[in-house]
Amino acid sequence: MNMHKDPLGDRFGMWLFLFSEILLFGALFVIYSVYFSKYQADFIAGGRQLDLFFGTFNTVILLISSFTVAASITALRNRQRKTALALLGFSISVGLVFLYNKYMEWGHKIHLGIYPDSPWLKEQSHGTNMFFGLYYVTTGLHALHVIIGGTLLAVSFAFILKNKVDPEHPTLLENCGLYWHLVDLIWIFVFPLFYLSH
Amino acid sequence: MEYRSLAGILCILLALTAATVSASRLELGENLHFLHIWISIGIASIKACFVLWYFMHLKHEPAFIRWFFVIAILILAIFIGFTIIDVAYR
Amino acid sequence: MNIPSPNDTRVPTFYETPSPKNMRGIWSWLITYDHKRIGLMYMWAILGWFTLGIVLGILMRVELLQPGGKFVDSQTYNAFFTLHGVIMVFLFIIPGIPAIFGNFIMPMQIGAEDVFFPKINLLSYWLYVLGGILAIVSLFAGGGMPDTGWTFYVPFSTKTHTNVSMATFAAFTLGMSSILTGVNFVTTIHRMRPANMGWKQIPLFTWSLYATAWVQILATPVVGMTLLLIILERAFGIGLFDPSKGGDPVLYQHLFWMYSHPAVYIMVLPAMGVVSDIIPVFARKAIFGYKAIVASSLGIAIAGSLVWAHHMYTSSMSDAAVFLFSFLTFVVAVPSAVKVFNWLATLQGGSIVMAPPLAMCLVFIVLFSVGGLTGLVLGSAGTDVHVHDTAFVVAHFHFVMFGGVGVAFLAALYYWWPKMFGRMYQFKPAYWGLGIFFVGFNLHYVTMFMLGLQGMPRRYYTYVPRFATGNFFAGIAGVVMVLGLAIILWNLIRSLRSPVTAPNNPWGSTTLEWQTQSPPPLENFTKEPVVPNYPYDFPEKPDDIVRV
């Protein structure tokens, strides 16, 4: 990240990059909207097969981690360095929990024989196939972004430790925070589209 | 933003999450069943606005960043919308 | 006009001063933060890819000199046109003007020392190099060079045994490079202008890069995701585009063209920006309708994002979609026409000074207009059905992308060469080369319009006997065209042998890059550049421009 004398410019550049990420997931939303309109009943049935508890739990903890990331920026501004580090550490842990949940969910589904090109899936209707195909690609891509986001938060953590990020130079933390919030934003839409089709 | 305000926003977000889960369980009947997806997207959009406005500080950023965000969403809406026009009329 | 006097002091150029400071030799180039060095590194790579792309084009034409697969077999021919497309589209034209001249010249045009994110700029360059390497690797690894065409249509791309995954991943990497460049340029243009350069004082070349950068940011990710899905499809058989599993192959086409149509505006907007900068200088007259050109650039960027499915009229998409996209395609022609009218109105009544950059811009206007008009035949669904996937389409896009963007690329090289290298070239060989190129180009591609109208399909390694004369003739004309191109490029390379004597401003231009030394110093300017009130005022009558 660029240590410029223009923090607004730094943040603006980050927002532009976030726009590209939105359009990246946007392509998947295009596909979802097409197949949802074509296979409504199957999508609704597919949603019932996903684990609502895991999905809701993940939604809740991701929202909480968004709060803690935002709060860590407040802490940094208030010169509460240790609080900022604790909040960041908590956020990273939430990311890990999220990924673990995902791993459990996917593992369970794969165990049941529900995965791309599986024998069971081959016998299902076309709509069911599309639903689960999209499910794996979308949540997989999202999980990859959770990993990237968590890594960015860890980098911010390290930079705060080394005093390279401080109340006078908060931009790196702010920008990594923006990325984490984007990860949360994507999930805010993924959750109802896949888990709440009832 | 102060901790208190941030926590308040979190509570709103959690409440909206509860709302969207409950709404998905509502029996709307055959005629109104199509509303479900729009309600879900609607509530998700409101949640997104809170995250954008408060957690991501769009409230305090200059207007041009807000406008550019709107434009990006509009472009995505066009991509989805025009594709649906094709699929819907096949 | 700026003829150097013996008393002009020269400061060390950016060639002599590396950035970061402590680097030496090759490392002072490979890990430089200097936008000028990055621009030059792009230039040599891009010219290399362009040459390879031309060679592939010639090889294709050799095959088509006679019917019957006597030179190469069909599989090899398919690989030829795929590689030709991938190289020309992703490695030459899309990066071309923005990566070279956007990087070198744009910061100077706004009086800045560099781009906003110099390190990310370097990252963009290395992602570009990596993408190129992956494309080469796909030639030799796995099943060999893809044979799908650069459009990678399903179902063939998900089923063929050639190395589609590597090639699409190469394109994905190049897309990331493009997105980061877009982010960099938008931020730079917003944040690094001097206080007295408002939005209405920005040179038109910079404006064109601004509009382009937005398209790079918003459109590229869509094709990035789509290409990723091809790779996932080949690896896991998900079926998102596979009808036997419930998928829709036409949906792939939607997603592919959602980027690839705006991509042609990524190609042409900077080219038009080059022309808008050059024409006023050599007409010695302010550009006609500065605001209209700005508005039309933004209009093209926006409207161009709405028309993608005009590539899909025969794909079995709905009539409603055919109607919608055909209508919008006619709309997007309007802002392009606005620019052509403004350039002509600028020339009219001006004091024309002939020089190679202007000559190339005039060729651009002619060839781009022909290409654009034939675009109407394609954009109109009724006529498109007759010419879809024929040589007519191939001729159309070569007129706009080669005769248009390619020639504007040459114009940019010829316009900014003295600034980048401090040397002037000879004019006469440039005119000869351009003339030979123009003749060969027209004979080559107009023949293809005619062949297409008669029904010759594209991407075929052979053809029925009645197309033989046309193809033979087009092949010969193609060689003439390439000969002209070679003269144009050799003329520039040859100039590098002469000493560094170009003045700051050999053309008498008013944009800021000409207020500093040729080549520039590391920080671009030794004293604060003076921002003119309006970019293109030419109050004085021209002296004879500096010529060799």
A99-145: pLDDT as tens digits: 999 999 999 999 999 999 999 999 999 999 999 999 999 999 999 99
CB contacts of A26 in chain C (<8 Å) are 221-222
Report the C-alpha gap between C165 and C227 in whole angstroms: 8
In this structure, are residues C405 and C372 in contact, taking their beta carbons and an 8 Å threshold? no
DSSP annotation string for A19-58: HHHHHHHHHHHHHHHHHHHH-HHHHHHHHHHS-HHHHHHH
Query: CA of C217: which chain A residue's CA is closest?
Result: A20
Quote the crossing angle between the two packed helices C204-236 and C164-191, to the nearest 10°. Answer: 150
Query: CA of B84: which chain C residue's CA is closest?
Result: C321
Subunit contact B54:A70, Cβ cutoff 8 A = yes
Report the C-alpha gap between C467 and C484 in whole angstroms: 26
Work out the pLDDT band at C106, boundaries 50, 70, 90: very high
CB contacts of B85 in chain C (<8 Å) are 318, 320-321, 324
All residues at 6 or more sequence positions from A84 whose CB lies less than 8 Å from its CB, including other chains: A72, A73, A75, A76, A160, A173
Q: Does residue C7 carry a pLDDT above 80?
A: no
* Tokens encoding A151: 């890594």
CA dihedral (C312, C316, C317, C322) positive or negative: positive
Alpha carbon dihedral C308, C310, C311, C314, in 10-degree steps, equals: 140
CB contacts of A15 in chain B (<8 Å) are 65, 68-69
Subunit contact A20:C255, Cβ cutoff 8 A = no
In this structure, are residues C53 and C74 in contact, taking their beta carbons and an 8 Å threshold? no
CA dihedral (C124, C126, C132, C138) positive or negative: negative
pLDDT tens per residue, chain A (198 residues)? 344 589 999 999 999 999 999 999 999 999 999 999 999 999 999 999 999 999 999 999 999 999 999 999 999 999 999 999 999 999 999 999 999 999 999 999 999 999 999 999 999 999 999 999 999 999 999 999 999 999 999 999 999 999 999 999 999 999 999 999 999 999 999 999 999 976
Over residues C13-20, the mean pLDDT reads: 86
Which CATH code fits A19-195?
1.20.120.80
All residues at 6 or more sequence positions from C170 whose CB lies less than 8 Å from its CB, including other chains: C86, C90, C131, C132, C133, C134, C135, C137, C138
Subunit contact B69:A19, Cβ cutoff 8 A = yes
Report the C-alpha gap between A184 and B49 in whole angstroms: 12
In this structure, are residues C488 and C500 in contact, taking their beta carbons and an 8 Å threshold? no
Subunit contact B48:A185, Cβ cutoff 8 A = yes
Q: Which residue has the tokens 């040729």?
A: C518
Q: Is the peptide bond before C542 cis (omega within 30 degrees of 0)?
A: no
CA dihedral (C242, C244, C248, C253) positive or negative: positive
CB contacts of B55 in chain A (<8 Å) are 66-67, 69-70, 181, 184
Q: Chain A: nearest CA to C153, how far in angstroms?
A: 16
Subunit contact C120:A2, Cβ cutoff 8 A = yes
What single DSSP character describes residue C99? I
Subunit contact B2:A74, Cβ cutoff 8 A = yes
Window 30-89 of B: residues touching C by CB (8 A cutoff) are 64, 72, 75, 78-79, 82-83, 85-89
**The CATH number of domain C27-515, selected from 1.20.210.10, 3.40.47.10, 2.40.110.10, 2.40.50.1070:** 1.20.210.10
- Domain ranges in chain A are 19-195
* Tokens encoding C168: 């699409």
Over residues C377-403, the mean pLDDT reads: 97
CA-nearest of A194, A55, A57 to A128 is A194
DSSP annotation string for B22-43: HHHH---HHHHTTHHHHHHHHH
Quote the crossing angle between the two packed helices C35-63 and C407-421, to the nearest 10°. Answer: 140
Subunit contact B86:C318, Cβ cutoff 8 A = yes
- Domain ranges in chain C are 27-515
Work out the pLDDT band at C263, boundaries 50, 70, 90: very high
Interface test with B, best of A15, A25, A58 (most B CBs within 10 A): A15
Q: Which residue has the tokens 């890594």?
A: A151
* C495 beta partners: none
What type of residue is C48? G
Q: Coil, strand or helix: which one is C2? A: strand
- Contact of C257 with chain A, judged by CB distance below 8 Å, is answered with no
pLDDT digits (tens, 9 = 90+) for C290-303: 999 999 999 999 99
In this structure, are residues B3 and A74 in contact, taking their beta carbons and an 8 Å threshold? yes
Q: Chain B: nearest CA to A125, how far in angstroms?
A: 19
- Domain ranges in chain B are 1-59, 62-90
H-helix or E-strand containing C398? helix C391-398
Quote the crossing angle between the two packed helices A7-38 and B63-88, to the nearest 10°. Answer: 20
* C505 beta partners: C2
CB contacts of B88 in chain C (<8 Å) are 318, 320
Subunit contact B86:C306, Cβ cutoff 8 A = no
Q: Which residue has the tokens 């990006």?
A: B72
What single DSSP character describes residue C257? H
Q: Which residue has the tokens 């392009």?
A: C336
**pLDDT of amino acid A135:** 97
Reported ipTM? 0.95
Interface test with C, best of A6, A14, A16 (most C CBs within 10 A): A16
Q: Which of B75, B88, B89 sits opposite C218 (nearest CB)?
A: B75
Report the C-alpha gap between C144 and C189 in whole angstroms: 42
Work out the pLDDT band at C540, boundaries 50, 70, 90: low
CA-nearest of C90, C81, C62 to C148 is C81
Apex C497 CA angle, C491 and C498, nearest 5: 95
Q: Chain B: nearest CA to C357, how far in angstroms?
A: 36
Subunit contact C318:B89, Cβ cutoff 8 A = yes
* Tokens encoding C410: 């040459």
Q: Coil, strand or helix: which one is C505? A: strand
**pLDDT of amino acid A198:** 67
Report the C-alpha gap between A90 and A68 in whole angstroms: 7
Query: CB neighbours (10 Å) of residue C353?
Result: 16
In this structure, are residues C115 and C46 in contact, taking their beta carbons and an 8 Å threshold? no
Subunit contact A26:B37, Cβ cutoff 8 A = no
**pLDDT of amino acid C339:** 96
In this structure, are residues C171 and C87 in contact, taking their beta carbons and an 8 Å threshold? no
pLDDT digits (tens, 9 = 90+) for B53-86: 999 999 999 999 999 999 999 999 999 999 999 9
Report the C-alpha gap between C114 and C20 in whole angstroms: 13
Over residues C8-34, the mean pLDDT reads: 86
Burial bucket for residue C199 (CB in 10 Å: 0-12, 13-18, 19+): exposed
Q: Which of B72, B79, B89 sits opposite C320 (nearest CB)?
A: B89
Subunit contact C318:B72, Cβ cutoff 8 A = no
Report the C-alpha gap between C399 and C365 in whole angstroms: 11
Q: Does residue C5 carry a pLDDT above 50?
A: no
Work out the pLDDT band at C546, boundaries 50, 70, 90: low
Window 115-134 of A: residues touching C by CB (8 A cutoff) are 116-117, 122, 125-127, 129-130, 133-134
In this structure, are residues C514 and C535 in contact, taking their beta carbons and an 8 Å threshold? no
CA-nearest of A174, A93, A182 to A145 is A182
* Tokens encoding C64: 């088509």
Interface test with C, best of A23, A39, A134 (most C CBs within 10 A): A23
Q: Which chains touch A (3 or more CB pairs under 8 A)?
A: B, C
pLDDT digits (tens, 9 = 90+) for C311-348: 999 999 999 999 999 999 999 999 999 999 999 999 99
Query: CB neighbours (10 Å) of residue C6?
Result: 4
Subunit contact A8:C119, Cβ cutoff 8 A = no
Q: What is the CA radius of gyration of chain B?
A: 17
